[in-house]
Amino acid sequence: MSEPIVGKGIDRVDGRLKVTGKATYAAEVAVANVAHGVIVGSAISRGRISTVDIKAAQQAPGVLAVLTHDNAPKLPGAHKKAVGQERILQFLQDDVILYSDQPIALVIADTIENAQYAAGLVAPTYDANDKPVADLDAASATAYTPKSLGPRGEVNSTRGNFDKGFAAATFKIDATYTTPVENHHPMELHSTTAVWQGEDVVTLYDATQGIFSVRTRIAELFDIPPVKVRVISHYVGGGFGSKGTPWSHIALAAMGAKVLGRAVNVTVTRPQMFSLVGHRPKTVQTIQLGADRQGKLTAIKHAVISETSRFDEFVEPAASQTRMLYSCPNVITSHALVRIDIPTPTFQRAPGESTGTYALESAMDELAYATAIDPLELRIRNHATQDEQERKPFSSKSLLECYRRGAAAFGWAKRNPKPRSTRDGKALIGLGMATATYPARQLPSSAVARMTPDGMLLVMAGTQDIGTGTYTIMTQIAADALAMPIDRVRFELGDTEFPETPTSGGSTTASSTGSAVKVTCLALRKNLVDLAIGDTASPLHGIPATSITFDQGALVSGGKRDNYGDIVKRSGAPEIGAEIKTQPTEDHKKYSMHSFGATFAEVRVDEDLGQIRVARLVAAYGAGKILNAKTGRSQFLGGIVWAIGMTLQEHTVRDPRTARVITRGLDDYHVPVNADVPDITVIAVDEVDPYVNELGAKGIGEIGITGMNAAIANAVFHATGKRIRDLPITLDKLTSEERA
Ligand code: MOS
């Protein structure tokens, strides 16, 4: 029998293509006669466009078209749906300005240089009487409760009696934590090339996490059937949520191409990434914790306020984990929004849990000091053995094992509990820890599998590989389902001509499309078995199906083999296939499904300068089956490194007078680079979950950024005795604020 390849840390099947530059990203797809569109953004954040003078731009070299709200075609589906049903976007349809850098013109030229030059010649005038609001603090009195938290359950939750539980508590924490605006900066900019084949057929080469949602949106906007829209996305250079829903540039590329009758590429510039593709909203999170003398939680309240745009809603569901992370009888959570003059926020890696665990796990750390109980011990005392909000058992939970393994690897037991107690010369050394968590979801998906006469397995699903390793793990899953050598398996994705799959978001691709691939390949296997045992020419003719095993691309029984390729050949069919649509298991209703982890951080803080260096990080996760040890580790590491940036660096700054983003490039929007990243130990705890899905995999794209931010922040407190409750923790805050 062949050894399973799922779980093995094999190299990415697309790795060679990527490192040799042969993997073609959206903007690189060679499309004949492509013209280049550049989006011109508004210079004001609130008001109206009075006039747009485009004469000079039109006359500039190479310019093919200049579209503004004066001359752009009206899109039939531009304002079709209500708030909450689809993202509200701006496509040059009117003169209203809702945020800075909103598209007000699309300049298309023969070359990108000519388009960029002409874009600078577009001369708008504005009517901007209303002063914009740039920060939710300035409008917090207008906070309101949104109608929906999307897939994250109810907007507000209550169990037990918080007031009673809080009043009875021996120890109380009441603290407010804020997280700033953060922008997505995948290496690959958002980019779309649109090619119309006649009046109502269009192909889009797009950098996206969701080819089918792009198809749906473009079909609606242009009022054409979805089957006439083809979206192709073979490689994506990072998504992180900003590529999770279609934004205005996609439709503008399609609009430009339609007007010109020529292929048009629109690539969002790095500065435009701060305004045209969403952002993580600022949050203000107030947490109240009550605990008895033994540190057992008696009450938790987690109230989240986050910013949204004037015209649409996005809620950062930062309190959702607080409903189930700890055992506590009295829990209130709430989410409120404040409308200000900004573009609509969106999902950013672990939307909710990243910001929410920072706040909750910081508060737990504060409670640990208040009760004089070790932070790890405090969490163990409040461990939840079931989901107390949903009143359901967990499908699996290895958190206690994660605490043990992580603490042992980190050497937590040697920590001196006293803040400012450990130093090395001028460096104050701090150790902090926190709990990580992320839901394990599954969505409907589908795949098709085909066996060819030469014994090659071809599997296709529409899905995307946003850098997570989808090509690789799907190849592994398919290979194991049919006991095939990996080099005889080919997995293709990123094309709406393939079976429909969900958006790659919410860490759901492995669970959803992985299950579809597995089930589909098992169905193909059954078809091959049925063909063989029914075929008098097969060595396995008439043998009971149950006695057949699978090995190296063949059916095997009692020393006899029938190669898959031979079965197909004898059938006379060009290939044998199977196509299946899978649904989440029924168990998703019976069980609460989450990954959990324990994160540990060591920081060194320069006592004079306030400079913080992360010295060491350890994380242990129970996230079900890890499908590929190498790409899996890479996913954990990516989240953990991001947690460093989130805690210490990332911060989009808006000018309070104009609501315009000031940090407009990677020069002043800081993210961790090599020198910021220390030794990181990642432990994947063996966890068998028979309920989550066919694969037992919970999804690992996002949990890495949860918890670790608080672990680092808690380490900074332990080092310095200063509690900074406002991310990022920068040296100016450390050196200027009074010690907590
Ligand atoms: Mo992720 S924020 O679900 O792309």
Closest CA to ligand 1's atom 4: 241
Residue 569's alpha-carbon distances to 124, 333, 458, 712, in angstroms, are 67, 61, 16, 60
Residue 135 is assigned to a structural domain of this protein? no
Residue 736: what pLDDT? 82
The CATH number that applies at residue 244 is 3.30.365.10
Residue 169 is assigned to a structural domain of this protein? no
What range defines the domain where residue 478 resides?
Answer: 15-22+442-583
Q: 638 and 676 share a domain?
A: yes
Residue 1 is assigned to a structural domain of this protein? no
Q: Is the pLDDT of residue 84 over 80?
A: no
Residue 620: what pLDDT? 98
The per-residue DSSP string of 679-691 comes to EEEEEE-----SS
| % of the chain surpassing 90 pLDDT | 96
Q: 686 and 724 share a domain?
A: yes
Residue 86: what pLDDT? 80
Ligand 1 pocket by Cβ (under 6 Å) = 209, 239-241, 244, 347-349, 351, 505-506
Residue 5 is assigned to a structural domain of this protein? no
- The tally of domains found in the chain comes to 3
Q: Is the pLDDT of residue 68 over 80?
A: yes
Catalytic residue among 154, 390, 702, 738: 702
581 within 8 A of 444, measured Cβ to Cβ: yes
Residue 729: what pLDDT? 98
Most distant CA pair in the chain, distance: 86
Residue 49 is assigned to a structural domain of this protein? yes
Q: 487 and 609 share a domain?
A: no
Average per-residue pLDDT in the chain?
Answer: 96
Q: 287 and 422 share a domain?
A: yes
What angle in degrees, to the nearest 10, is found between the helix axes of 629-648 and 353-371?
Answer: 70
Nearest ligand 1 atom to the CA of 242 is 4
Residue 561: what pLDDT? 97
Q: What is the pLDDT of residues 479-493, one digit of tens each?
A: 999 999 999 999 999
Q: 427 and 568 share a domain?
A: no
Q: Is the pLDDT of residue 85 over 90?
A: no
Domain boundary among 583, 604, 634: 583
Residue 738: what pLDDT? 55
> Average pLDDT for residues 318-339, to the nearest whole number?
98
How far apart, in whole angstroms, are the C-alpha atoms of residue 709 and residue 689? 27
Q: 426 and 446 share a domain?
A: no
Q: What is the pLDDT of residues 181-237, one digit of tens each?
A: 999 999 999 999 999 999 999 999 999 999 999 999 999 999 999 999 999 999 999
Q: 448 and 430 share a domain?
A: no
Q: Is the pLDDT of residue 643 over 90?
A: yes
Query: Ligand 1 pocket test: which of 512, 702, 705, 706 has the largest number of ligand atoms within 8 Å of its C-beta?
Result: 702
Query: Ligand 1 pocket test: which of 152, 213, 240 has the largest number of ligand atoms within 8 Å of its C-beta?
Result: 240
> Average pLDDT for residues 380-404, to the nearest whole number?
98
Q: Is the pLDDT of residue 83 over 70?
A: no
Domain boundary among 567, 583, 599: 583
Residue 181 is assigned to a structural domain of this protein? no
Residue 129: what pLDDT? 83
247 CA to centre of ligand 1 in angstroms: 15
Tell me whether residue 570 is exposed, middle or buried, using C-beta atoms within 10 angstroms of its C-beta: 0 to 12, 13 to 18, 19 or more. middle
Q: 398 and 501 share a domain?
A: no
Domain boundary among 274, 309, 339: 274
Residue 170 is assigned to a structural domain of this protein? no
The answer to pTM > 0.75 is: yes
Q: What is the pLDDT of residues 144-184, one digit of tens each?
A: 999 999 888 899 999 999 999 999 999 999 999 999 999 99
337 CA to centre of ligand 1 in angstroms: 20
Residue 481 is assigned to a structural domain of this protein? yes
503 CA to centre of ligand 1 in angstroms: 9
Q: 489 and 355 share a domain?
A: no
| % of the chain surpassing 70 pLDDT | 99
366 is catalytic: no
Q: Where are the alpha helices (DSSP H) in 306-398?
A: 353-371, 375-381
Q: Is the pLDDT of residue 519 over 80?
A: yes
Nearest ligand 1 atom to the CA of 240 is 4
What is the side-by-side strand order in the sheet with 157-159?
157-159, 331-339, 297-308, 283-291, 171-179
